[in-house]
Amino acid sequence: MNIVTLSPTDLTFAAILILLLGIVSLKLRLGQTKQLFIASLRCTVQLLIMGFILKLLFAAASPGAVVVMALVMLLSAGQAVTSRMHRPLTGKWTYFFGVAAMFLSSFTVTLYALFIIIDISPWYTPQYAIPLLGMLLGNTMTGVALSMDTLTTTVYQSKNMIEGRLILGEKWRDAAQEQIRGAIRTGLTPIINSMATTGIVSLPGMMTGQILAGSPPMVAVSYQILIMLLIAAGTGFGVILAVQITAGHLFDQRHRLRLDRLSGDTV
C-alpha cells in the first residue's frame, strides 16, 4: 500500500490557491475576501486540533474520552444551528431543540451502525465511532438548521393565514401543516440531492480518502454506500424531530399562535 504523505510545503501550495482566489475576490469587490481567509484559517486550525485530539483518542481508546468528545461535537453543532437562524426562538429554545433533535437522531443511528451493522468490538473504538458520528452530526446539523430556520420564517410570514385558520376552529397542526411540511422538505433537500448525484457528478470525501489511502475501490464504495444511507436516515429523523418540536413550541395548549416566542416579536 503506497500512501503519499503530505508535507507542510504541499499544503502551502494548496493555500496559494486560496490566496489567489482572495485576490480575485478583492479585485471584483465581492466583499468575501476577509470571510474566505478567516474560514480557511479556522478550517486549518480546527482540523489540526482535531487531528491531535484523535491521535490521543486512538492511543487511549477510552469509552469516557470518546463520550466526552461526542458531547463536545454535539454541543458545538447546537451552537452552529443557533447561529444560522434568522428568526430564532426566544431564550435558549433554539439551542435546546436543535441539540435534542441531533442527539436523538445522530447518536441513535451511530450506535445502531456500531452495534448492528459494523459490529465493532469494543463499540467505542475511536477509529470508527468518532468519524461515523462526525459525518452524521455534520449533515444532520445542516438539515436541522435549514428546517428550523425555514419553519420559524414561514410561520411568521404566514401568521395571518395561520391565525385565520385557527379562528375557524382548526388545530394548530392542521393550520400550520403547509409550513411544517415545507420546512421538512427544505431540511431533506441537501441530502437527497447529494445522494442523487453521488457516483455520477461527485465522488464523496470518505470514498476518495479511502481510495487515496490504498483501499480497494469496492471496499471504499461499500463504506460510502453505508455512510450515505446512515446520513440520510440520521438527517431525516433529526429534521422531522426538530420541526415537530419547534412547531409545537410556537403554539400553546389552546392552539394559539405565540409569536412572542420568536425573537423580536411580541403580541
Q: Which amino acid is at 51?
A: G
What is the rounded distance in angstroms from the CA atom of residue 159 to the CA atom of residue 259? 8
Q: Quick check: is 267 in a domain? A: no
Tens-digit pLDDT profile for residues 13-51: 999 999 999 999 999 988 889 999 999 999 999 999 988
Tell me the average pLDDT across 112-123.
90
Q: Is the pLDDT of residue 1 over 70?
A: no
Query: Do both 204 and 128 map to the same domain?
Result: yes
Question: Is residue 112 classed exposed, middle or buried when 0-12, 13-18 and 19+ CB atoms within 10 A define those classes?
Answer: middle
Going by pLDDT thresholds of 50, 70 and 90, the confidence category of residue 177 is very high
Average pLDDT, the chain: 90
Q: Is the pLDDT of residue 212 over 90?
A: no
Reported residue count of the chain is 267
Tell me the average pLDDT across 171-175.
94
Tens-digit pLDDT profile for residues 243-263: 999 999 999 999 999 988 898
Query: Do both 172 and 94 map to the same domain?
Result: yes
In the prediction, which pLDDT does 264 show? 61
Going by pLDDT thresholds of 50, 70 and 90, the confidence category of residue 2 is low
The residues facing 127 across adjacent strands are none
Query: Do both 40 and 126 map to the same domain?
Result: no
Q: Is the pLDDT of residue 267 over 50?
A: no
**Cβ distance 173 to 246 under 8 Å?**
no
Query: Do both 20 and 143 map to the same domain?
Result: no
In the prediction, which pLDDT does 251 show? 94
Q: Quick check: is 140 in a domain? A: yes
Residue with cell 385558520: 165
Residue 220 makes CB contacts below 8 A (sequence gap 6+) with 206, 207, 210, 211
Number of H helices, E strands in the chain: 11, 0
**pTM assigned to the model:** 0.85
Tell me the average pLDDT across 54-65.
86
Q: Which domain holds residue 257?
A: 62-261
- Give how many domains the chain has, as a whole number: 2
Residue 169: left if φ>0, alpha if ψ -120 to 50, beta else—which one?
left
